[in-house]
Amino acid sequence: MQSTTYSLDSIRSDFPVLERKVRDNKPLVYLDNAATAQKPIQVIDAITDYYKNHNSNIHRAVHALAEESTEAFEATRGKVAKFLNVANTKEIIFVKGTTEAINLVAYAWGRDNVQKGDIVVTTEYEHHSNIVPWQLLTQETGAELKYIDIDENGELMLEQLDEYLATGKVKLVAVSHVSNVLGTITDVKEVIKKCKNADAKILIDGAQAVPHMKVDIGNLGCDFYAFSAHKMLGPTGVGVLWARKELLEKMRPFLGGGDMIREVHKYETTWNDLPYKFEAGTPNVADVICFTAAIDYLTKIGMDNVRNHEIELTKYALEKMSKVKGIVIYGPKDPKKQGGVISFNFKDVHPHDVATIVDKNGVAIRSGHHCAQVLMDKLEVAATNRASFYIYTTKQEVDALIDSLEHVAKVFKL
Amino acid sequence: MSADPIYTEMIIEYSRNPSNFGKIENPHIHRHDSNPLCGDSIDLYVNVDGNKITEVKFDGKGCAICMACTSVLTEMIKGKNLEEVKNFKKDDLLSELGLGHLIKTSPVRIKCALLSLKALKYGIYSYFVDKMNDVEAAGKLKEEAASLY
């Protein structure tokens, strides 16, 4: 049973950077969590401790430090598996981020399983990392790339998926669990059910989901799931690909090199067991090991509590933001249907001007296309502003955002 | 809130009502340029009579800084000789809008401010190479354009 009290003060005191003053001594209001999350002292200390006391390469030497590092590295694998309710830890593959995880699938699975005439399906609200690998794959193989469109609420029009699946040609559906721009939560259970019925594989980009809500891969029923550590309090340079053992066993390796081999001869090589077959070269040992501290931190708070906190903040922010003069908010505008992400624009004011003005008040939001140019085209904008929340975000910080946005409206005489 | 060193009345005014906004059909000089990270995207059109700039227009999308700086640049170069414009420095443009401080304070936004000048220098460079066959002058311009930001 998770605790029902959510101690915002005590959480905030664990994040040294939140004490920063920026831009003429304004307290930092960090609302760019969809890009990357800040790190608690527990994670920062773990990194220092690793390099001070344990640093060693893993999986090879027999000396004490190597043993400690190997053990800690594999312990994180176990921790990730438990966090996501994955029974077989060999299905957890460490990569450098969500992007690499998706590319791994596109190369190692895609090139042997997608052919001319086949269809790969993605959606209009994907990040470039869940579009470009599929463009490369379909262009190379002669397969077709199809998009599930979004409706005016920023939700997927799943009836289009039915049409695509009905052709019997769909080999893979690649969809994000939560949109990084609109915050829309995909009905992944429904998507997975449809894919299973049509015998299509399903990949879920969980970069914006795993940090913010309980994700139970063991019960989801998808085939591939990818996410990054740095958006969930962990270090940069660590990502996870989860895939079914049956698929991983049949897949060819992605990168060749050390650690992924069993035996190397002049002209042939046999592969190492899972998961090492997909982890060529020295991995990001230190950061993988310290990722444990981030998972522990989130587990202690409880993912349901994280989600509830963000629902409350999003509700509060949507109510207040919708009253700012000249503002246009994109996406579901329903805290139950979206993550703690709100994208918006001011009528004909460029998002970079908005971000620069609010930055003067210490408020960090993101402006740009958010690596989602297909979505920008759909919304008929060049860019949007995005505020995104996390476990340490307070209502006072949302108020600071609103004050700054009102100032924008004033400056531009909206 | 204190007076903003970037979003002055003049910048806001220019961004809302840009000068010389539009397109020239079949111009002597045409240059498209963009800032991929922030999405400013402009097309600059220039007509020349002999050595003199007779007509300048631009269109595109961009932030207030980009729109204001491009507007002012078009106003400043109209009627000038290519020789004068060739020697135009970034301070000449930035000081006109009181944005000289951006060089030090905002390495990100300086790109918005100087996009049009970069486009202009590259545009004149191509003109020198293609139409006037002055490779030496062109080479210097290209170097300058590339080192603006």
Helix orientation angle between B135-146 and B110-127, rounded to the nearest 10 degrees? 170
Q: Of the residues A244, A274, A299, which one is the last residue of a structural domain?
A: A299
| pLDDT tens digits, B21-36 | 999 999 999 999 998 7
CB A157 within 8 Å of CB A151: yes
Residue A2, pLDDT > 80, answer no
- DSSP at A252: P
| pLDDT tens digits, B38-71 | 778 999 999 999 889 999 999 998 899 999 999 9
Mean pLDDT on A292-298: 98
Range of the domain at A91: 45-299
- pLDDT class for A1, splitting at 50, 70, 90? very low
Mean pLDDT on A215-238: 98
CB A304 within 8 Å of CB A119: no
- Separation between Cα atoms, residue A162 and residue A116, nearest integer Å: 21
User: Which chain A residue is nearest to residue B38, measuring alpha carbons?
Assistant: A368
Asked whether residue A39 is domain-assigned, the answer is no
Helix orientation angle between A285-301 and A41-49, rounded to the nearest 10 degrees? 150
CB A365 within 8 Å of CB A358: yes
| pLDDT tens digits, A324-373 | 999 999 999 999 999 999 999 998 899 999 999 999 999 999 998 899 99
Based on the domain organization, do A378 and A236 belong to the same domain?
no
- Separation between Cα atoms, residue B70 and residue B21, nearest integer Å: 9
Rounded to 5 degrees, what angle do the CA atoms B128, B131, B133 make? Answer: 60
Q: Residue B101's pLDDT is what?
A: 87
**Chain B residue numbers touching A411 (CB-CB < 8 A):** 4, 7, 12
Residue B9, pLDDT > 50, answer yes
Q: Residue B140's pLDDT is what?
A: 81
Out of B4, B41, B66, closest to residue A411 by CB: B4
Q: Is A371 a catalytic residue?
A: yes
ipTM of the prediction: 0.75
Phi-psi sector, A188: left (phi>0), alpha (psi -120 to 50), beta: alpha
Asked whether residue A173 is domain-assigned, the answer is yes
Q: Residue A4's pLDDT is what?
A: 54
CATH number of the domain encompassing residue A166: 3.40.640.10
Based on the domain organization, do A214 and A343 belong to the same domain?
no
Q: Of the residues A299, A319, A336, which one is the last residue of a structural domain?
A: A299
Based on the domain organization, do A177 and A221 belong to the same domain?
yes
| pLDDT tens digits, A50-90 | 999 999 999 888 899 999 999 999 999 999 999 999 999 99
The helices-and-strands tally (H runs, E runs) of chain A is: 15, 17
CB A112 within 8 Å of CB A163: no
Cβ pair B109:A352 closer than 8 A? yes
- Separation between Cα atoms, residue A391 and residue A18, nearest integer Å: 12
Rounded to 5 degrees, what angle do the CA atoms B70, A376, A29 make? Answer: 80
| pLDDT tens digits, B76-113 | 999 999 888 888 899 999 999 999 888 887 888 899 99
More confident residue, A306 or A24: A306
- Separation between Cα atoms, residue A243 and residue A358, nearest integer Å: 42
Question: Residue A275, Cα to own-chain centre: how many angstroms?
Answer: 21
Average pLDDT across chain A, whole number: 96
Residue A408, pLDDT > 90, answer yes
> What's the total number of domains in chain A?
2
- pLDDT class for A272, splitting at 50, 70, 90? very high
- pLDDT class for B2, splitting at 50, 70, 90? low
- Separation between Cα atoms, residue A227 and residue A98, nearest integer Å: 5
CB A369 within 8 Å of CB A376: yes
Based on the domain organization, do A172 and A308 belong to the same domain?
no
Based on the domain organization, do A340 and A382 belong to the same domain?
yes
- Separation between Cα atoms, residue A254 and residue A239, nearest integer Å: 15
Asked whether residue A37 is domain-assigned, the answer is no
Q: Residue A341's pLDDT is what?
A: 98
Based on the domain organization, do A181 and A328 belong to the same domain?
no
Rounded to 5 degrees, what angle do the CA atoms A404, A127, A79 make? Answer: 95
- Label the pairing between strands A261-264 and A21-22: unpaired
Question: Residue A413, Cα to own-chain centre: how many angstroms?
Answer: 37
Residue A220, pLDDT > 80, answer yes
| pLDDT tens digits, A87-130 | 999 999 999 999 999 999 999 999 999 999 999 999 999 999 99
CATH class of B9-144: alpha beta
Nearest CA among A62, A95, A55, A59 for reference residue A74: A59
Contacts of B144 (CB under 8 A, 6+ apart): B121
**pLDDT above 70 coverage of chain A, percent:** 99
Q: Residue B131's pLDDT is what?
A: 77
| Amino acid present at B76 | M
Mean pLDDT on A387-414: 96
Cβ pair B4:A349 closer than 8 A? no
Out of A368, A369, A411, closest to residue B7 by CB: A411
Based on the domain organization, do A317 and A230 belong to the same domain?
no
CA of A206, closest CA in chain B: separation in Å?
A: 25
